[in-house]
Amino acid sequence: MKLTKIEQSFLDGKHGSGLKRAMEILAALGRIYGARDMVAVKSAQIAGISYKNIGDPGLEFLSDWANMEVRAHVPAFMNPSGIDRQLWRELGFPPEFAKKQLEIIEQLKRVGVRATLTCTPYHIGLQPEKGDHIAWSESSAVSYANSVIGARTNREGGPSALAAAFCGRTPRFGLHLHKNRLATHRIQVACSIDSSADFGLLGNMVGKKIGGGIPFFQGISLPNQTAQQTTCLKSLGAAMAASGAVALFHIEKKTPEATSYGERIVRADAHTIKINSLDEARKSLHSNGSELDLVTLGCPHASIDEISDIANLLKNKKLKKPLWIASCSIIREQARNKGFVEIIENAGGRVLADTCMVVAPLAEMGIKFIGTNSAKARSYLPSHQGIITYFGTTEQCIESALEGQWKH
Ligand code: F3S
């Protein structure tokens, strides 16, 4: 792989052991994937930071970097952690877990990574531009950045995203190259897709069918309002990334590259798949029973508009089961200022920041039954935490929390 002078000097250790190690990771990846050179990145999003997932070895790995006194050279921000830094005591998170999680966040701060602790950084202004190269690692954020914004990122691992943040570059392969961004599958949708939960169902089905392919959707209409469009598109991308490994999708005449290139964004040998109904996904995501410990919304992390809609549904109501809405601290502050948090808390719900239902230690906290409107959370909660998970629309989730049992 061709390295510039400065990249070679990183690799030779002329700028310290931290940058040497970071460049070694990037150069090794570049060699494995046949990159010809590196490309400068505008930002890095670092996933894999929950103590639940990385444990003590992960904490040690991050402390090592911090001790090497290396710093992020481009804006770098954290994915959700395992706790809400403000509410963890009140919500009953285990203290030992919280202590370790706070240490992880501290180590990342030491190397210059911002504690945004969100998988939807684009909701708080951390939005790349079309064509920007970035190194993001949370799968739904990757999908959104590639597909909806038209930026270019591979699905980075936590360590490679960190290495990219330190070096300000990443090897140019995969989705950084236009030729690898062409659709491998044409998905003709012939049924109506009405809610963000429907987009999740569609994503779940398509991810299972195409694995790591790139779909080009036809026949989908998006809601008129931008905020609702965003919610639906992030739900679609998150679901496909969870049931398959889809990191980029196109929607005919809607997403940036489909608009710019038209039919030329589809490979000549693309397979065609017809979707006549969402029943297959509905069946596969169905769980029997109605017992409920918790209802969670906000996977991917909720926007201010989603929180506003939820507050509207909860006005003057009382929940029988806890309802948690996951977002980040900046959005929670906005929601507090607009009075949404008060409405939600008066009903008995909570707006959480810094964490989410999948990476928080919910099973350890005794939670066995969850309702959610996220196809991604529905895919992961049973396998990652052994939690029985019901899937439904936002309205269905709220109605169930109000009734105290899951409403099929
Ligand atoms: Fe985000 Fe957690 Fe869902 S990281 S996409 S809220 S699993």
Please work out whether the CB of residue 123 comes within 6 Å of at least one atom of ligand 1: no
What was the pLDDT predicted at 298? 98
Q: Whose CA is nearest to atom 2 of ligand 1?
A: 356
- Would you list the domain boundaries of the chain? 5-178, 182-278, 286-403
Residues of the chain with pLDDT under 50: none
Q: Do the domains 5-178 and 286-403 sit in the same CATH topology, yes or no?
A: yes
113: left (phi over 0), alpha (psi -120 to 50) or beta: beta
Please work out whether the CB of residue 238 comes within 6 Å of at least one atom of ligand 1: yes
What is 208-270 written as a DSSP string?
A: HHHTT--EEEES----SSHHHHHHHHHHHHHHHHHHS-----EETTTSHHHHHHGGGGEEEEE
Distance, CA of 401 to CA of 405 (rounded, Å): 7
What separation in Å is there between the alpha carbon of 279 and the centre of ligand 1?
24
What separation in Å is there between the alpha carbon of 361 and the centre of ligand 1?
14
> At the top level of CATH, which class does the domain 286-403 belong to?
alpha beta
Distance, CA of 24 to CA of 386 (rounded, Å): 37
What was the pLDDT predicted at 306? 98
Predicted TM-score (pTM) above 0.85: yes
Query: What is the C-alpha end-to-end distance of the chain, expressed in Å?
Result: 55
Q: Which atom of ligand 1 is nearest to the CA of 380?
A: 7
Radius of gyration of the chain (CA): 21
What separation in Å is there between the alpha carbon of 368 and the centre of ligand 1?
19
Please work out whether the CB of residue 358 comes within 6 Å of at least one atom of ligand 1: yes
Q: What is the CATH number of domain 5-178?
A: 3.30.499.10
Say whether 274 sits in a helix, a strand or coil. strand
What separation in Å is there between the alpha carbon of 7 and the centre of ligand 1?
34
pLDDT per residue as tens digits for the range 236-252: 999 999 999 999 999 99
What was the pLDDT predicted at 149? 98
Q: Which atom of ligand 1 is nearest to the CA of 119?
A: 1
What separation in Å is there between the alpha carbon of 296 and the centre of ligand 1?
11
What was the pLDDT predicted at 82? 98
